[in-house]
Amino acid sequence: MKPAPPKSLHDLGFEELTEVLAAGGVIPHHARTLWRALYRMDAQELREMDFLPPLKRWVDASVGEDKAFFLDAPDVVEEIRSSDGLTRKFLLRLRDGRMIETVLMGYDGRYTVCVSTQVGCAMGCVFCATGQMGFVRHLRPGEIVAQVLHARRVLKQAAPNKKLRNLVLMGMGEPLHNMDSVLHALDIISDTRGIGIGPSRIAISTVGVVPGIRRMAEENSPYRLAVSLHGSREEERAALVPVSGRWPLDTLIDACRDYGARTGKRIFFEWTLIDGENDSPATAERLAIMLEGVDAHINLIPLNPTRGYDGAASHAGHAFQKILRAAGFPCTFRQRRGIDVAAGCGMLKEDSRRSAS
């Protein structure tokens, strides 16, 4: 019989890890030690760790390239820093050669990592470099966890006293299209025995996958929700976000209202401002009416230019913001500190492909 294909240790939750060890005759106590080694101490070479003999024997027999388990440790193909040095963007190569992006952002001494959840994306938003790439595959939980570990490692070297406190799922891909893996990864990342990023400091950003939002509401999800809207009329939104045809605005806003009512949580709405497309005063006024009664924070994002889209950044952002504020909504511009390092979603990968061709 052919041996089972190797699995990533980073794919396993704490209970699964305990079961795997138990199946190898190792008592549960050692699961905690191994978990700490992986997620607190960030051991990259488990064989070098000073484990007690039963765990050491299991690691020697089971972990390694030719063994039952491996560790997710993507290669850094490229790293770019913003001119202020506070944003670092990594192009990471996965085991199968596919590339993803991870960004470490520092602002006011607080550090946030932005991770990818898929290679490419199936949602096809016209202005997004990842959408222009199409869908390649979902990431496994371990591939999501490994991005956080990488960012934490970089931060530890750059600023040893600082903690990585925040996580946003705003890199490549649509998190709610890969929901099971995403939620499993978030369980691992928020586990206080290990990495321990608090659920209230984790934001899932979605293009508006309604069944996913409904599931978050039903499960009373502890994570924050950000919804990328970009349009306050159906035609306006559908021109930018093709999946609006599948989950139209009224259905989406209903799901958001329900999520807000059930969880009592504020929702962040993301709005990429594009000249002449979705930046008029009338659009802002309609948005305010559409979101009436929703506990909403609106984040305005300046458009980052991409090769596959010829729209331009808006100059009307401040007027847009003013209307929403007058209607009582907190409304801010998303910090894009990394704009000089091609910090838009999927853009570093696009750049590297261009220079490779």
Stretch that binds ligand SF4, among 59-67, 81-89, 90-98, 123-131 (CB under 6 A): 123-131
> Is residue 101 flagged as an active site residue?
yes
CA dist 256 and 275 (Å) reads: 27
CA dist 100 and 115 (Å) reads: 9
Active-site residue identified among 128, 143, 345, 350 = 345
Residue 228 vs 232, nearer CB to ligand SAH: 228
Residue 9 vs 101, nearer CB to ligand SAH: 101
Residue 304 vs 321, nearer CB to ligand SAH: 304
Q: How far is the CB of 175 from ligand SAH (least distance, A)?
A: 6
Pick from 86, 207, 90: nearest CA to 148: 90
Question: Do 182 and 175 contact (CB within 8 A), yes or no?
Answer: yes
Q: How many residues bind ligand SF4 (CB under 6 A)?
A: 12
CA dist 174 and 38 (Å) reads: 27
Mapped onto helix, strand or coil, the DSSP state of residue 189 is: helix
CA dist 80 and 340 (Å) reads: 10
**Contacts with ligand SF4 in 158-197 (CB under 6 A)?**
173-174
Number of alpha carbons in the 13 Å side-chain half-sphere of residue 221: 28
User: Across the strands, what pairs with 138?
Assistant: 118
Q: Which does 306 bind (CB under 5 to 8 A by kind): ligand SF4, ligand SAH, none?
A: ligand SAH
Question: Do 296 and 119 contact (CB within 8 A), yes or no?
Answer: no
- Per-residue burial over 205-241, b if 16 or more Cβ lie within 10 Å, else e, is bbbbbbebbebbbeeebebbbbbbbbbbeeebbebbb
Q: Which does 301 bind (CB under 5 to 8 A by kind): ligand SF4, ligand SAH, none?
A: ligand SAH
Query: Quick check: 130 binds ligand SF4 (CB under 6 A)?
Result: yes
Question: Do 38 and 194 contact (CB within 8 A), yes or no?
Answer: yes
Query: Quick check: 345 binds ligand SF4 (CB under 6 A)?
Result: yes
> Is residue 218 flagged as an active site residue?
no
CA dist 93 and 263 (Å) reads: 37
Query: Quick check: 205 binds ligand SAH (CB under 6 A)?
Result: yes
Query: Quick check: 212 binds ligand SF4 (CB under 6 A)?
Result: no
Residue 11 vs 101, nearer CB to ligand SAH: 101
DSSP codes, 39-102: HTS--S-GGGS---HHHHHHHHHHBSTTSSEE----EEEEEEE-TTS-EEEEEEE-TTS-EEEE
Residue 63 vs 207, nearer CB to ligand SAH: 207
Query: Quick check: 231 binds ligand SAH (CB under 6 A)?
Result: no
Query: Quick check: 208 binds ligand SF4 (CB under 6 A)?
Result: no
Q: Which does 8 bind (CB under 5 to 8 A by kind): ligand SAH, ligand SF4, none?
A: none
Residue bearing tokens 């003013």: 322
Q: Which does 182 bind (CB under 5 to 8 A by kind): ligand SF4, ligand SAH, none?
A: none
**Contacts with ligand SF4 in 52-91 (CB under 6 A)?**
none
Residue count of the chain: 357
Residue type, 46: L
Q: How far is the CB of 103 from ligand SAH (least distance, A)?
A: 11
Give 32: exposed, middle or buried? Use CB within 10 Å, 0-12, 13-18, 19+: middle
**Contacts with ligand SAH in 163-182 (CB under 6 A)?**
170, 174
**Contacts with ligand SAH in 298-327 (CB under 6 A)?**
301, 303-304, 306
Stretch that binds ligand SF4, among 38-46, 124-132, 279-287, 309-317 (CB under 6 A): 124-132
Q: Residues in the site for ligand SAH, rule: CB under 6 A? A: 125, 127-128, 170, 174, 205-207, 228, 270, 272, 301, 303-304, 306, 344-345
Q: Residues in the site for ligand SF4, rule: CB under 6 A? A: 121, 123-125, 128, 130-131, 173-174, 207, 228, 345
Catalytic residue IDs: 101, 345
